[in-house]
């Protein structure tokens, strides 16, 4: 299992479009991908779960990947979030 703490910097927070970019990207990996936010776990391959988490700009989140391709998944997750999720 690998994980990393990150700050969400895109202006709109995790709304439909950024959430969908993220969930689609994570869907390619076989490992489990979880976002820890405010003490709750959210399935990061599910756009609905991410949107329901209501994560706003400036929030601290932890991305946890667990499974065969966890390293690659985490790397892409970090890169996506740091680049502002395509906004």
Distance in Å, CB of 58 to other proteins, minimum? 8
Under 8 Å between Cβ of 36 and 64: yes
Q: Can you tell me whether residue 1 is helix, strand or coil?
A: coil
Asked if residues 63 and 77 have their Cβ atoms less than 8 Å apart, the reply is yes
- Does the protein bind other proteins through residue 86 (CB under 8 A)? no
The answer to whether 16 contacts other proteins (rule: CB under 8 A) is yes
Binders in 18-77 for other proteins, by CB under 8 A: 20, 23-24, 27, 43, 45-49, 51-52, 54, 56, 58
Q: How far is CA 79 from CA 30, 39, 40, 52, in A?
A: 18, 23, 23, 23
Binding site for other proteins (CB under 8 A): 11-12, 15-16, 20, 23-24, 27, 43, 45-49, 51-52, 54, 56, 58
């Amino acid at each position: 299992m690998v994980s990393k703490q990150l700050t969400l910097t895109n202006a709109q927070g995790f709304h439909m479009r950024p959430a969908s970019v993220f969930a689609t990207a994570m869907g390619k990996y076989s490992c489990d991908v979880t976002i820890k936010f405010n003490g709750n776990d959210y399935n990061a391959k599910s756009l609905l779960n991410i949107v329901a988490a209501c994560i706003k700009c400036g929030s601290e989140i932890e991305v946890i990947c667990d499974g065969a391709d966890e390293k690659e998944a985490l790397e892409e997750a970090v890169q996506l979030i740091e680049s502002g999720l395509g906004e």
